[in-house]
Structure 1
Amino acid sequence: MSNFSNTQRVRKHVTATAGGVVAAQHKVAAEIGASVLEAGGDAVDAAVATSFAIGVVEPWMSGPAGGGTMVIWREKEQKSETIQFGMRSPAGLNPADYPLSGAGKASDLFPWAAVVDDRNIQGATAIAVPGVVAGMELLHKTYGGMSWRELLTPAVGLAREGMLVDWYASLIIASTARELAKDADAAALFLDEGTWPKVAGWTALSATRLDQSRMADMLARLADAGARDFYEGDIAAALAGDIKAKGGALSREDLAAYRAHRTHTLDVGYRGGTVHASAGFTAGENLVECLAMMEQAFVPGHDPDEASFTGMARALGTAYERRLREMGDGEAPHAPSCTTHFSVVDRHGNMCAVTQTLLSIFGSRVVSPSTGLLMNNGIMWFDPEPGRPNSLAPNKACLMNVCPAIGVKNGRRFAIGASGGRKILPAVLNLTSFLMDFDMTLEEAFHHPRVDNSGGGTIVADEDLPEAVIGALEAVHPVATAKRTVFPYAFACPAGVLRDGNVNMGCTEIMSPWGDAVPELKGA
């Protein structure tokens, strides 16, 4: 039983264009990316600009102090590639500093054994080595056409202006206000009088904005001095000094040693097409595994039905059972995460699917006062109990749930991904199935009801699915029905673009009040 209207319907319109499109979880960041395309940049240039812009306007989801992974497609070379920029534990981290409390399970995303004072979840001790800046640096150095400074300048301007606090921002800040109040710098940025969430004005003329001037200064320095300043220069020194002063293990040496990596994608044939999934410490391997099982499980009909949804649910159940057992990831199914995803396609057909994250919402709930950055809590990705597949250790890569992917079939190529922690893989799998099994349009795929079976023994099904489908799913696992709402997201928050011939389009999760797909104006 819920409080929500049975008659309200929310839709997002998908526009086709000969120009490029940026689909992101925040409209303003998508507009920045689209403006780069209009200025002559390609998908790579737009992705770099969008990455830094979205870290300003959606700071609790991602930013320079986070990590992630992307999958790119180079149309001229007909080649896909993964760029990995996930977080790492600091080299000086000591697992003994994270003693188990004996108080049951942890209080946030993962059902690990609880640690004393939640030192692996909140505060400077939860901060891992960030990778976003290095990932964007590697992408830009390898394929970028516009200058680094040009691409960061729009984010500097956004930070100088300060993020607009509307009703949705007020809701997000309020959801974590108690934890933000524990760090003086986070409280100063997001709370009034160190206690009360900053709230939207009652009228459009009484706008409230965050003071992101410190972040603007840092971004301006990064634009002028280059990406390595974040890891080896003045920014690195300031960042490491701030975290050390707050009791964290992150050091200048950790930052200087960090590098992003280019690798292959995991490629799998599916229904006569191909899916290029992210390699490395992501859910890409599980996506490939699920697609192989689904191809054997059912023959697609005209629309998704009992056979397709039960085949998907069983594949997800098998994949997550192995993931939790062998890969060590074990996120609580209904906890909020703080990831963002954006997808880009340019007029030439190049694509980028980029997922970046701070991990928890507001990450560690710690702000670096010198840089204005909200810091990640990547240490929470590790199991604090020793002897496990993903046990906490120094200088170790974090295992992420991110799952950016690019697929192609019958001349249609798409780039998708999502935020939502463990719900990411099911969302990507649902959309891939809709597009490749049933040849849906992008608009149809994003509006179609989805299912989630990401562990825990319960399938979450959209209440708008037919009763016959829900009944069939109950034969696989117990089913809980849920409504797609603005907050929280029951089925992750995807964003994608699609190219059909020479025509491009994009769409984002229909319930996201900020997400949008923005075309470059000159191609409209």
Structure 2
Amino acid sequence: MTTTADQWSTRKPFVTNPAGMVAAQHIAAARAGAELLGRGGNAVDAAVAAALALGAVEPWMCGIGGSGFMVIWLAREGRAVALDFQGVLAAGVAPGDYPVDPALPVTSMGFPAVRGFANTQGATAVTVPGAVAGFDHALARYGSRSLGEVLQPAIRLADEGIPASWFCTLMIASEMAILRRDPVAASVFLPEGVPLQPGAQLRIPGLAGTLRRLAEKGAEGFYRGDLGCDIAAELQALGSRIGMDDLARYEVLDHPPMEAHHRGTTLFTPGEQSGGLRQRDFLAHAGRAMPAPGPRPDAASWLVYADALEAAWRAHRQRNGTLSEVGCSTSSLSAADAEGNMVALTYTLLDHFGAGIVLPRTGLLLNNGVSYFDPRPGRRTSMLGGKRINSSNMVPTVGVHDGVAEFAIGASGGDLIMPCVAQIAALMLDFGMTLEEAIHLPRLDASHRGSLRADPRLGPAVLDWLAATYTVEVSGNVVMPKLYACPSGVSRTADGRFGGINDPALPDGGAAGPEPQSAPTGVKGAQ
């Protein structure tokens, strides 16, 4: 076994409220979602408000220049829906735009790098962002508030800025080499050539104005109006092929989610384009290998989880031919309301700070989603003009038992996402744990990469048992690198309240509920 020297352990409060809950990777975003619940909004309104706020307070992870997935449980209708608002390549993109350079290291998705890092850095790495379309669609079909109203907390945060935390400084410092290449990004995040210091104001010029324009003109203005024209012009000036036709063609996919069944609970995920199929494979393997779990997880059950993760990832790599995703820039959040609606939402810029640029007029950070595509031809994930991202690790999950949503969870962390979410769900369902217990429990990580990573808190007996089968890396759940992903979740509690929590090792994350006197409204059905 190998081990790391940096070992430490933290706990985070499990917040409860009878009228709903929002958990997110930044407490300010969770409070933004709770604010919508307090105004009478439902879980969809709260989730979108939190997601938009995250773009202002956690801009290295997500924003309206990103893309992702959402799973919604509609309590009145007793059904779940999945929204795919993943990125799309510009129609004019051709494989010849991205010639492979064998002298460069592979990308964060495990694909070959191309000349000048054109598929990972700068405007040439940007796919058409789907976040605005996804949020607008969710609100129009299933929410109770307008995009303009839901945007207000994000506008306020973008306008005023927030004091940078030490974690913010750490994230900026980790990407200095890329950020300093873009003059606008450098001016925002590297004032005087050094990372924004703790306590200094984090504020992105132009972002609040763009969010105000979005509130006024809606998604139509972003994809077919003046705001879209400005974004496309800024991108093209930096070398992107994305034009107004690409923005205007963008569509959200609204479809029945993938189902997995485990211990009497149905887990809904976005499906094969996400990490959902791997999660379903994991649960099926664990169910077969452990038909009657004991009262608490032991060495044998942790080995079952390791084997199940290995098998699920082996099948995935055979399907997609991908290597390892070694970097990530993703935000995940969950929301619930008093009526019983639940939402799990995950969206991303892909790598930290996405393409590493900030558009000078609109203040947008953009995804580097082109790196989701293999520059080599003939593969499932190969580049093709107008092609949608068809493989992702994101796996927002809603668990439903006897027609009632019991939990909504998701995580950020690239290859680490599915193992994290799947284990938290399995620990709850296999051993009757609460969400609070499951998130605080140590985890392991396996993704068919030749070794198994395990938290030392599992204990010597478990680690020795695992080491008899696997090459084990013993590594603690630290702030950076995030070796076991960063989960956020909400759940029902035994006393009928709603609880929420974010990863105990993420300093800025948290959960918040609405004011007690407020209650959310119903959720819209499909039109």
Q: TM-score, normalised by structure 2?
A: 0.94
Is it true that 1:471 corresponds to 2:469 in the alignment?
Answer: no
Match of 2:317 among 312, 324, 335: 324
User: What pairs up with 1:376-395 in 2 under 5 angstroms?
Assistant: 376-395=367-386
Q: CA deviation at 1:459?
A: 0.9
| Corresponding residue of 2:499 | 505
User: Within 1, Cα distance between the matches of 2:202 and 2:509?
Assistant: 20
User: Any conservation in 1 of the 2:398–2:405 contact (CA below 8 Å)?
Assistant: no
User: Within 1, Cα distance between the matches of 2:393 and 2:19?
Assistant: 31
User: Within 1, Cα distance between the matches of 2:231 and 2:459?
Assistant: 52
Q: CA deviation at 1:101?
A: 1.4
User: Within 1, Cα distance between the matches of 2:184 and 2:303?
Assistant: 48
SS in 2 for 1:213: coil
User: Any conservation in 2 of the 1:412–1:500 contact (CA below 8 Å)?
Assistant: no
User: Any conservation in 1 of the 2:140–2:146 contact (CA below 8 Å)?
Assistant: no
User: Any conservation in 1 of the 2:110–2:324 contact (CA below 8 Å)?
Assistant: yes
Higher relative contact order (CA 8 A, sep 6+): 2
Q: CA deviation at 1:104?
A: 5.3
User: Any conservation in 2 of the 1:163–1:212 contact (CA below 8 Å)?
Assistant: no
Match of 2:286 among 286, 294, 313: 294
Is it true that 1:455 corresponds to 2:452 in the alignment?
Answer: no
| Corresponding residue of 1:372 | 363
User: Within 2, Cα distance between the matches of 1:357 and 1:315?
Assistant: 27
Q: CA deviation at 1:523?
A: 6.0
User: Within 2, Cα distance between the matches of 1:133 and 1:391?
Assistant: 26
Q: CA deviation at 1:144?
A: 1.6
User: Any conservation in 2 of the 1:20–1:523 contact (CA below 8 Å)?
Assistant: no
| Corresponding residue of 1:28 | 28
User: Any conservation in 2 of the 1:18–1:523 contact (CA below 8 Å)?
Assistant: no
* One-letter amino acid matched to 1:343: S
Is it true that 1:483 corresponds to 2:485 in the alignment?
Answer: no
Summarize deviations over 1:17-62 as a string: whole Å, max 9, x none: 2111000000000001001101111101111211111111000100
* One-letter amino acid matched to 2:6: F
Is it true that 1:274 corresponds to 2:266 in the alignment?
Answer: yes
SS in 1 for 2:35: helix
| Corresponding residue of 1:204 | none
Match of 2:218 among 220, 226, 242: 226
Is it true that 1:285 corresponds to 2:285 in the alignment?
Answer: no
Superposed CA RMSD in Å reads: 1.6
| Corresponding residue of 1:341 | 332
* One-letter amino acid matched to 2:349: L
| Corresponding residue of 2:227 | 235
Structure 1 residues 293-302 or 338-347, which shifts more? Answer: 293-302
* One-letter amino acid matched to 2:361: S
| Corresponding residue of 1:196 | 194
User: Within 2, Cα distance between the matches of 1:331 and 1:372?
Assistant: 31
Match of 1:514 among 508, 512, 515: 508
| Corresponding residue of 2:177 | 178
Matched-pair identity in %: 39
Q: CA deviation at 1:86?
A: 0.6
Aligned residues: 512
SS in 2 for 1:374: coil
| Corresponding residue of 1:414 | 407
Structure 1 residues 475-484 or 438-447, which shifts more? Answer: 475-484
User: Any conservation in 2 of the 1:159–1:215 contact (CA below 8 Å)?
Assistant: yes
Q: CA deviation at 1:2?
A: 4.1
| Corresponding residue of 2:253 | 261
User: Within 1, Cα distance between the matches of 2:33 and 2:299?
Assistant: 40
User: Within 1, Cα distance between the matches of 2:51 and 2:398?
Assistant: 18
Distance verdict in 2 for CA 1:400–1:523, change over 3 Å: farther
Q: CA deviation at 1:97?
A: 1.3
Structure 2: which 5+ runs fail to align? 519-527
Structure 1: which 5+ runs fail to align? 201-206
User: Any conservation in 2 of the 1:329–1:381 contact (CA below 8 Å)?
Assistant: no
Q: CA deviation at 1:154?
A: 1.3
User: Within 2, Cα distance between the matches of 1:242 and 1:466?
Assistant: 53
Q: CA deviation at 1:307?
A: 2.4
Distance verdict in 2 for CA 1:76–1:254, change over 3 Å: same
Q: TM-score, normalised by structure 1?
A: 0.95
User: Within 2, Cα distance between the matches of 1:352 and 1:475?
Assistant: 40
Summarize deviations over 1:209-249 as a string: whole Å, max 9, x none: 13323000000000011112111111111111111101111
User: Within 1, Cα distance between the matches of 2:9 and 2:373?
Assistant: 40
User: Within 2, Cα distance between the matches of 1:177 and 1:163?
Assistant: 20
User: Any conservation in 2 of the 1:484–1:490 contact (CA below 8 Å)?
Assistant: yes
* One-letter amino acid matched to 1:261: L
User: Within 1, Cα distance between the matches of 2:100 and 2:387?
Assistant: 20
SS in 2 for 1:77: coil
User: Within 1, Cα distance between the matches of 2:160 and 2:272?
Assistant: 37
